Amino acid sequence: MASGSPLRLAFDARLIENSGIGRYIQSLLPRLPNHGVDVTAFMSPDQARDPRWAFPGVRRVATPARIFSIGEQGAIAALAHGFDLLHVPHLNVPLFSPVPLVATLHDLIPFHFPEATAARFGRAYVHAMARVVPHRARRVLTVSENTKRDLVTLAGAPPERIEVVPLGVDPAFFEHASPDHIAAVRARYGLAEGYLLYAGQWKGYKNLDLLLDLMESLRGTECDDLELVLVGKEDPRERLGDRLTARGLTDRVRVTGFVPDEDLVALYQGAMLFLFPSRYEGFGLPALEAMAAGVPVVASDRASIPEVVGPAGVLLDPERMLEWQNAVRSLSADPARREQLARAGRERACGFRWDLTAERTVEAYRRALGDSFRYPQGASIESSPGP
């Protein structure tokens, strides 16, 4: 690239509608132009026409290449010709990219929980690409130190090529919803006041069985009237409805399914506690969103979750249900402690900002390109203040 000219970045954004990686793309992509980057996003034809994905300073190029197909290898490589750098936010990178490559790896779930990936081909693909990509890419970005350790120890990746760039939290989660709005959202989903909340996927490693065991254990205690609210897209393999019926929990566990962000903030802020018992997370964004919303967090002490929650929440062993029961009973009776955790969580969440994620990502681009990278005159890598 010419000295002083903007970095011409190609970004594979075809997973923008994915529930996990999609949040990363939606939040990072529109912020990159603020840091001296000329961005072109590769999208499906429908996505390239969708006004939701029209970001200022980001050009869209349509490609019919299907995700995780053999054809995407050649198609994305061909589109990347002429750019200074290609960023792929997952492992499905073109192995023979004609330009320097940066990849983002969010987790190594198939290494720990093979059953979480339904297709055998999918598991084999992740295992193979996790071992190859770190040697093809100039830089691999991971969203946590835990994922970096996994990539080094389980996939044999060279640690010097890996940079940890944590995710951020949408500023909307910091905004206080009015009591009337919270009440209206509760009514929309048929919820009582002061519920326990879980948000996220419903796959086996998310450990929802612990929450069901918890709700059974609270029968006959001072917490007998507490409801558990499960927010997220159900994995049909989990047969959650059948399990609730078998346990007699249909009147104590409310299932909302997918919830739009405008309702999600109010659901967070209407909860008494946020419970996150997952055995493994690449990052753990729902816990961060809950902290930003001012909800006391009780979370697993496994994988990357302690990196996100830190001392601002209660961290427990996800295999010891009695610890969770004791925590819920204690916190439900201690509003002062809940308020202390809520304040600490909001303060900690302020350190996770998408502007900072974008800044650190562009710094990784600089290191990937070495001396050929130059910021254009007037461009800044300073992030804006505030969450």
CATH number, domain containing residue 213: 3.40.50.2000
User: Structure tokens of 379?
Assistant: 């461009």
Residue 218: inside a domain: yes
| Mean pLDDT over the full length of the chain | 92
Q: Cβ contacts of residue 22 below 8 Å, gap of 6+?
A: 15, 16
Between CA 187 and CA 58 the distance in angstroms is: 39
Residue 196 located in a structural domain = yes
pLDDT for 231-262, tens place per residue?
988 777 778 888 898 898 999 999 998 898 88
Nearest to 346 by CA among 301, 305, 386, 300: 386
Does the residue 194 lie in any domain? yes
Evaluate whether 357 touches 168 at the Cβ level (below 8 Å).
yes
pLDDT tens-digit readout, 50-83: 999 999 999 999 999 999 999 999 999 999 999 9
Average pLDDT over residues 29-41: 97
Q: In this structure, how many other beta carbons lie within 10 angstroms of the beta carbon of residue 241?
A: 13
DSSP 143-197: SSHHHHHHHHHHH---GGGEEE------GGGGSPPPHHHHHHHHHHHT--SSEEE
Q: How does pLDDT run across 107-151, given as a tens digit for each residue?
A: 999 999 987 776 667 788 889 999 999 999 999 999 999 999 999
The domain containing residue 206 runs over which residues? Answer: 171-349
Q: What H or E segment, with its residue span, contains residue 37?
A: strand 37-43
What pLDDT was estimated at residue 385?
31
pLDDT band at 378 (very low <50, low <70, confident <90, very high): very low
| 371 confidence band (pLDDT: 50, 70, 90) | low
Tokens of 177: 């919803």
Looking at the fold, whether 141 and 264 belong to one and the same domain comes out as no
Same domain, 240 and 330: yes
Tokens of 23: 């949040």
- 211 and 288 together in one domain: yes
Task: Give the pLDDT of residue 376.
Answer: 44
